Structure 1
Amino acid sequence: MNKVFSTVAAAGLLAGLVVAAPAAAAAPDFDPAPIAWGACTSPSLQKAGAQCGFLQVPLDYANPSGAKISLAVSRVRHTTAQSQGVMLVNPGGPGGSGLGLSVLGKYVPNHAGDSYDWIGFDPRGVGASKPALSCDPGYFGYDRPGYVPNTPQLEQTWLASSKAYALACAKNGPLLEHMKTTDSARDMESLRKALGQRQINYYGFSYGTYLGQVYSTLYPQRVRRMVLDSNVDPRKVWYEANLGQDVAFDRNIKIYFDWIAKYDNVYHLGTSGDAVEDLWYAEQKKLAQHPAGGVIGPDEWSDIFLQAGYYRFGWEDMAKAFSGWVHDGDWQTLKKLYDNTDTPGDDNNFAVYNAVQCTDTQWPTSWNKWRADNWATYYRAPFETWGNAWYNAPCLFWPAKAGTPVTINGAKVAGALLIDEELDAATPFAGSLQVRKLYPASSLIAEPGGTTHADSLSGDACVDDQVADYLATGKLPARKPGNGPDAICAPLPDPVPAQP
């Protein structure tokens, strides 16, 4: 499942035999042309004094003299006398636009980001890069068939829809065959060369941590400093990762319902988490028969509240929308929240998500396995299981050949700072522990009890000050024996709504 994280505006994933790094990196060499920097069209980038341009890279790195594509790139330059080099940023996804993240340096405390050139970029197929992937812009409409396939007809409807979407993606032509994470990692290496740098620094969130893992495995000598926030578990790319998410999101939505119940004097939705949960599912059942405003059915209802499992940011807005619907019939607010998460008329994010995940590795080809695994998970975790299954179901029919993921190996990486909240649902905490194990020169900051995904540089001084220290000096928290975290920070507190 893909919900994009942006630190600047938080809402905005995841093997068999594997190919060793030297073989994966053995494509013919490519020397990119320098980027012709000019003005940015984005007002926020203009305000930040950013420069923008395009980097031309091979469609297929096995044929570097062949067809080319263009990546949209932005840059905010260092403001100090001495530069610490470039800092490439990826927000996650796959499919997230990173072009605007060149402004991220100003969020690093103590001006520790000022000595870097911050580089935002849209990965291949994403956003302003050319060409941008799209398969069926209307795929995320309103009042779609229910996610839970409790009749054979519903199951066949979703399978047919998933197949039609996958086949529609074939119109993107050869690009679809070259959308793997390894392709984006090689694009990062081309970007390093185009910027004239011996090494890069890197800041990755969510799926961006996996891109960082792949890049640093293929090009360990090119990594100077690296921050990975909310780590993908490289052992579970990608089918098992999604099943693990389902259980974690079910836990987190219960935490959210408990929070709503704590403020029953504000929202009037129930005095216990169980009561709020029962009401939430009762309303979802009603929406299957009578969509709110004719547009918000049970699927859209699930998608709106999925954000509460990702972030504490927005808890109040979602609770107000829940209450407004139950007590006043306000469906317009629900629609606004839905449009902010699954925007009808724009499938670029979804198209890239599938193009990457469906070809990074071979997904199970038997629908019987998908059915059995997802029903077994649903009975434990009903909140998001089938929504997540159908989000990924185009991989059953994907019209491009799957590859084999790289064996992640950080033994030669000079250092990395890992960050994760221990109740992160999108990238469960076990992934960060595994990455710590694979990167012996890394240190992990954990936030026990935290449920927010990928929220460093969002105001938690304990975390952000350690990020600043690392970026300024290269100093990591002292690594402790064993396979636990190396530093502990309290997560940001739960929001407190205004009292009536």
Structure 2
Amino acid sequence: MAFGGLLALLAACSDDTGVRSTGAEGSTASTTEVTTTTAPAASTTSEAPTTTQATPAGDGTIDWEDDGFGTQSGYLEVPLDYADPAGPTIRLYVVRHPAADPSARIGSLLVNPGGPGFGGTVLAANAEFIYGGALLDAFDIVAWDPRGTGYSEPAVDCVDDYDRYFAVDSSPDDQAEQDELVGLAEEFVQGCVDRMGDVLAHLSTADSARDMDAIRRALGEEQISYFGFSYGSELGATWATMFPTTVRAAVLDGAVDPTVGYLAQNVQQAAGFEATFATFLAQCSADPACAFHNGGDAEGAFDALAAAADAAPVPTEAGRPPVTQGVLYTAVSDAMYSQGSWGQLEQALADLQAGDGRGILDLYDDYYGYEGGGEWDDSLEAYFAIGCLDDPGSTGPADLYSHEDEFAAAAPRLGRGWMLELTICSVWPEPPAPPVVITGAGAGPIVVVGTTGDPATPLQSTRNMADALEDGRLVVVTADQHTGYGLNSCVDGAVEGYLLDPASPPQDELNCG
């Protein structure tokens, strides 16, 4: 149901319109408008679609150009299939925010916002609002749009209208509704096949880890540092496992559980969102000022709203879908990433009670990247292309729906809504990529950050990542949101101190309150 990471950072440098973490005290600013990366010039690179042994990538180069915003950008050409280095190539879009103090420069810090599916270059474009001053002085902040995303070429593109596929009833009540979801999933996947062809076989996390090593070599660095959020933790841990001797330091914030498969990860995630939503409803019931207070029974009011939306979807605006149960669940999930969005959800739910679904639609649009005028960004399509290739989670729809009760048990309110997106992976056409068993062996200490109330990557998930690594150092922050960097001086000091001096990592199980 939930793919995340990027807005965990952007909520910290925008005006609470994002849905991931909101920086409190510490390095992350909270009131500055987000800078988007400028579209690079079009290329004529052929669209042709990696992974075998972790051998070094070729020595490509990046022709840097000044973007006029204190950053530089360029493309790096890499093999579509690293097993066929002389074959077709793709281009990775890379943006660099140079170190502010050349005399203090340590090297490059590769950064990734999560997803999967998000282009990452926005992190470099907004580096001064995301990372602490000591990091900005010492590192070139280097971000890239992972293969298949953003301005990298080709970017995944499957369909034109997300509403057709995601504004439906996401929790089927009978076989007919289940068949409808499967049919829509098959149609969506066929769009990916028709538009992307052989590229779909070469978009795995291991492929992107090889791309990271290609970027390192293009930068001319023997070792490089890394800071990844959400899914970026999985990518970073994969890279550290495949290329351990190239790791100078690595921070994984809001970490994915590497010890279980995709289906179990989603059950964990459903439980995490359910727990955070229960906190939201309990706080609303206890606070008469909450717009969705409902006489102290926000829980009962929401259950009634969900049932009503299932029976009779609520209109929103001309040309847009009504609030179905699926749209409602998506809106709730969107707001759960950050307490900064809870007030918006309170009002949207109150408006929905009054028959106005536009506030709920706004949150749904935020989640799926609606840009207005019938246009959507492509991040969700890339999310499926990457995630389903890594691990489809099931052998087909029948196998998937045999697990439906697990989701309902883990998350009685929201769990069955996970079926919609999981159905797409259940009919994915490409066989799963060979798995990489995460160990980080030989990479040295790796810092793993988790929050106590993270809905997307629950604390146990993050703890399992730290335990899976040969030398994982867990830092815990008390907060009801996704990712922890930027929340207080303790976590910022632990993360930044380690990146500046990897020989002095924080103690394991550091409690940052």
Indicate which of 355, 379, 388 corresponds to 1:358: 388
Q: Kindly provide the CA deviation profile for residues 320-345 of structure 1, in whole angstroms up to 9, marking residues without a partner as x.
A: 22223335x44333332222212354
Paired residues of 1:233 and 1:435 also in contact (CA < 8 A): yes
Which aligned pairs between 1:8-407 and structure 2 lie closer than 5 A?
A: 8-9=10-11, 10-11=18-19, 26=53, 29-40=56-67, 46-47=68-69, 49-80=70-101, 81-102=103-124, 103-104=126-127, 107-141=130-164, 144-171=167-194, 172-272=196-296, 275-288=297-310, 289-293=312-316, 295-327=322-354, 329-344=355-370, 345-346=375-376, 348-361=378-391, 363-407=393-437
Q: Kindly provide the CA deviation profile for residues 92-123 of structure 1, in whole angstroms up to 9, marking residues without a partner as x.
A: 11101211111335543353331100011110
Q: Kindly provide the CA deviation profile for residues 469-489 of structure 1, in whole angstroms up to 9, marking residues without a partner as x.
A: 22233322223xxxxxx2112
Write the distance in 2 (CA, Å) between the matches of 1:357 and 1:287.
Answer: 30
3-state SS of the aligned residue for 1:418?
strand
Q: Kindly provide the CA deviation profile for residues 175-208 of structure 1, in whole angstroms up to 9, marking residues without a partner as x.
A: 1000111000000000001111111100001110
Q: Report the equivalent of 2:30.
A: none
The verdict on how the C-alpha distance between 1:114 and 1:188 changes in structure 2, with shifts beyond 3 A counting, is same
The alpha-carbon deviation at position 268 of structure 1 amounts to 4.9
Indicate which of 426, 435, 443 corresponds to 1:413: 443
Residue range with higher mean Cα deviation, 297-306 or 116-125? 297-306
Q: Report the equivalent of 1:19.
A: none
The alpha-carbon deviation at position 141 of structure 1 amounts to 4.4
Write the distance in 2 (CA, Å) between the matches of 1:313 and 1:287.
Answer: 25
Letter in 1 for 2:97: V
TM-score (norm 1): 0.87
Q: Report the equivalent of 2:36.
A: none
The verdict on how the C-alpha distance between 1:142 and 1:63 changes in structure 2, with shifts beyond 3 A counting, is closer
The alpha-carbon deviation at position 379 of structure 1 amounts to 4.2
Letter in 2 for 1:189: D
Paired residues of 1:325 and 1:331 also in contact (CA < 8 A): yes
The alpha-carbon deviation at position 252 of structure 1 amounts to 1.4
Paired residues of 2:148 and 2:156 also in contact (CA < 8 A): yes
Paired residues of 1:99 and 1:120 also in contact (CA < 8 A): yes
In structure 1, the gaps of 5 or more residues are: 13-22, 41-45, 480-485, 491-500
Q: Report the equivalent of 2:15.
A: none
Q: Kindly provide the CA deviation profile for residues 355-397 of structure 1, in whole angstroms up to 9, marking residues without a partner as x.
A: 1122213532143332121124214423332322211211222
Q: Report the equivalent of 2:6.
A: 5
Q: Kindly provide the CA deviation profile for residues 242-296 of structure 1, in whole angstroms up to 9, marking residues without a partner as x.
A: 1221122211111111122232234252344xx2122112122223314232622
Paired residues of 1:37 and 1:52 also in contact (CA < 8 A): yes
Paired residues of 2:392 and 2:432 also in contact (CA < 8 A): yes
TM-score (norm 2): 0.85
3-state SS of the aligned residue for 1:88?
strand
Is 2:506 aligned against 1:477? Answer: yes
The verdict on how the C-alpha distance between 1:323 and 1:268 changes in structure 2, with shifts beyond 3 A counting, is same
3-state SS of the aligned residue for 2:221?
coil
Indicate which of 461, 475, 480 corresponds to 1:431: 461
Paired residues of 1:246 and 1:384 also in contact (CA < 8 A): yes
3-state SS of the aligned residue for 2:450?
strand
Write the distance in 2 (CA, Å) between the matches of 1:376 and 1:471.
Answer: 40
Write the distance in 2 (CA, Å) between the matches of 1:256 and 1:235.
Answer: 29
Paired residues of 1:134 and 1:347 also in contact (CA < 8 A): no
Write the distance in 2 (CA, Å) between the matches of 1:53 and 1:154.
Answer: 47
Paired residues of 2:54 and 2:242 also in contact (CA < 8 A): no
The verdict on how the C-alpha distance between 1:286 and 1:313 changes in structure 2, with shifts beyond 3 A counting, is same
The verdict on how the C-alpha distance between 1:432 and 1:65 changes in structure 2, with shifts beyond 3 A counting, is same
3-state SS of the aligned residue for 1:121?
strand
Paired residues of 1:358 and 1:402 also in contact (CA < 8 A): yes
The alpha-carbon deviation at position 29 of structure 1 amounts to 4.9
Write the distance in 1 (CA, Å) between the matches of 2:335 and 2:57.
Answer: 44
Write the distance in 1 (CA, Å) between the matches of 2:143 and 2:176.
Answer: 45
Letter in 2 for 1:264: P
The verdict on how the C-alpha distance between 1:168 and 1:198 changes in structure 2, with shifts beyond 3 A counting, is same
Paired residues of 1:138 and 1:347 also in contact (CA < 8 A): no
3-state SS of the aligned residue for 1:8?
helix
Paired residues of 1:143 and 1:291 also in contact (CA < 8 A): no
Aligned structure 1 segments of 4 or more residues deviating by more than 6 angstroms: none
Write the distance in 2 (CA, Å) between the matches of 1:338 and 1:367.
Answer: 25
3-state SS of the aligned residue for 1:236?
coil
3-state SS of the aligned residue for 1:112?
helix
The alpha-carbon deviation at position 442 of structure 1 amounts to 3.0
The alpha-carbon deviation at position 412 of structure 1 amounts to 0.8
The alpha-carbon deviation at position 68 of structure 1 amounts to 0.8
The verdict on how the C-alpha distance between 1:118 and 1:311 changes in structure 2, with shifts beyond 3 A counting, is same
Write the distance in 2 (CA, Å) between the matches of 1:216 and 1:377.
Answer: 32
The alpha-carbon deviation at position 300 of structure 1 amounts to 1.1
Letter in 2 for 1:11: V
3-state SS of the aligned residue for 2:210?
helix
Letter in 2 for 1:460: N
Letter in 2 for 1:104: A
Alignment RMSD, CA only?
2.2
Paired residues of 2:270 and 2:411 also in contact (CA < 8 A): yes
Write the distance in 2 (CA, Å) between the matches of 1:130 and 1:112.
Answer: 30
3-state SS of the aligned residue for 2:181?
helix
Write the distance in 2 (CA, Å) between the matches of 1:336 and 1:310.
Answer: 15
Write the distance in 2 (CA, Å) between the matches of 1:76 and 1:433.
Answer: 32
3-state SS of the aligned residue for 1:225?
strand
Write the distance in 2 (CA, Å) between the matches of 1:106 and 1:470.
Answer: 20
In structure 2, the gaps of 5 or more residues are: 12-17, 21-49
